[in-house]
Amino acid sequence: MKDKALTRAIVREFGLIQDVVQLENMPLPELAEGDARVKMVYATINPSDIITISGAYRSRISVPFVPGFEGVGVIEQAPADSHLPVGQRVLPIGSMGNWQTFKDTKPEWCFTLPDFVSDRQAVNSYVNPMTALLMLTEALDAKPGQRILVNAANSAIGKMLIRIANQLGMTPIAVVRKRENIDIFEGYQLETVLNSSDAAYLQELQRIRRSGGVHAIFDCIGGDESLTFAEILIPGGQFIHYGLLSGKPVPPQFWRSRPDIRFMNFHLRQWIHSQEKPVVQKRIDQVMELIRDGVVHTEIATAFSLNNISDAIEAAVFGELKGKILIEI
């Protein structure tokens, strides 16, 4: 192992991702006792990576660090008692560090994958699909005939929420921001698709309120729009908040106007770190079955090699490509 090299993307100061990510080569260090070494195959660039690199979580993350919350690889070395044979495909989750040729981690954070899922789908199987599945099956107090609303429904995770909800017997209301996104839901089961840029949008929301309202809202936007959605929730309804696309938090008047609402900030990281490994593995297995059955699918735009990380970042931040940008390692 001593003669092998480690190539990694590293952040030594917080800032714009295109300015602060550097590529470096160094000798591969000795593997710490008890750790597993994963030879990475693919990684992704997610909004969560960009936000972390910007310094939004500097209170709990210090520089330098190797970014990348999502990746897939194969076991290069592992302790004998870990039951992780060399060559076993795994998702090394629970920490950053996937933008490098080798990731050293604890064996308990390496989760096995079935043969029927490709590397390119497996690498996208953690952040969005797991979040969608867990919000619908654990965060949501699900009941038969439940009416739910999903905003930013044209996003990757929005579409996953709808497809998984359909499998669970729900027919969501979808909200998009652009007219061209109204017709992208062929094959989805939806009560209706609303365009928040349309002049009649607020009237449509009031129509939904008058027809009984919604039991739950899945929100990844935040900001003042939260107040609008609060008006259509039934008494005691759920508001499951998991993103801030608006860049603004849910305003304080949200709780003053509707103190009855059951509000939840859903964080995948908190759930993962609160569970035993068999529970997490079972959920990952469920996601893999959803991928196999076509319920969950991630559109992939293209892949760049780790050595061209700057091009991958540019495509992810500035590009017009539709779908995920992968880092091929």
Q: What are the tens digits of pLDDT across the range 11-41?
A: 999 999 999 999 999 999 999 999 999 999 9
Q: Which residues, 6+ apart, have CB-to-CB distance to 35 below 8 Å?
A: 79, 104, 105, 106, 107
Beta-carbon contacts of 60 under 8 Å, excluding residues fewer than 6 positions away, are none
Say whether both 236 and 319 belong to one domain.
no
Average pLDDT over residues 218-244: 95
* Residue 106: CATH number of its domain: 3.90.180.10
- The type of residue at 13 is E
> Which residue among 248, 268, 288 closes a domain?
268
| Domain boundary, last residue among 223, 247, 268 | 268
Kindly state whether residue 154 falls inside one of the protein's structural domains: yes
Domain that holds residue 165: 128-268
Position 94 scores a pLDDT of 93
Average pLDDT over residues 132-161: 95
Q: How much is the pLDDT for 145?
A: 84
Q: Are 90 and 40 in contact (CB under 8 A)?
A: no
The pLDDT assigned to 319 comes to: 76
Q: Residue 3 — pLDDT band, cuts 50, 70, 90?
A: low
Last residue of a domain, one of 221, 248, 268: 268
What does the pLDDT look like over 204-214, one tens digit per residue?
A: 999 999 999 99
215 and 310 in a common domain: no
pLDDT over 50 (residue 315):
yes
Q: Mean pLDDT over residues 288-313, rounded?
A: 96
Residues 71/40, Cβ–Cβ less than 8 Å: yes
Q: How many residues does the chain have?
A: 329
- Residue 322 is predicted with a pLDDT of 84
Question: Does pLDDT of 170 surpass 50?
Answer: yes
Summarize pLDDT for 269-290 with one digit per residue, the tens: 999 999 999 999 999 999 999 9
Concatenate the DSSP letters of all residues of 126-171 into one string.
Answer: SHHHHHHHHIIIIIS---TT--EEESSTTSHHHHHHHHHHHHTT--
Q: How many domains does the chain have?
A: 2
Are residues 91 and 26 part of one domain?
yes
Q: Does position 197 have pLDDT exceeding 80, yes or no? A: yes
Any domain includes 43: yes
pLDDT digits (tens, 9 = 90+) for 92-124: 999 999 999 999 999 999 999 999 999 999 999
Residue 177 lies in a domain: yes
Count the Cβ atoms, other than its own, within 10 Å of residue 322: 8
Q: Are residues 95 and 170 in the same domain?
A: no
Quote the mean pLDDT of the chain.
95
Confidence band for 1, pLDDT divided at 50, 70 and 90: very low
pTM of the model: 0.93
pLDDT in tens, 47-82: 889 989 999 888 889 999 999 999 999 999 999 999
Same domain, 146 and 245: yes
Report residue 3 as tokens. 């003669």
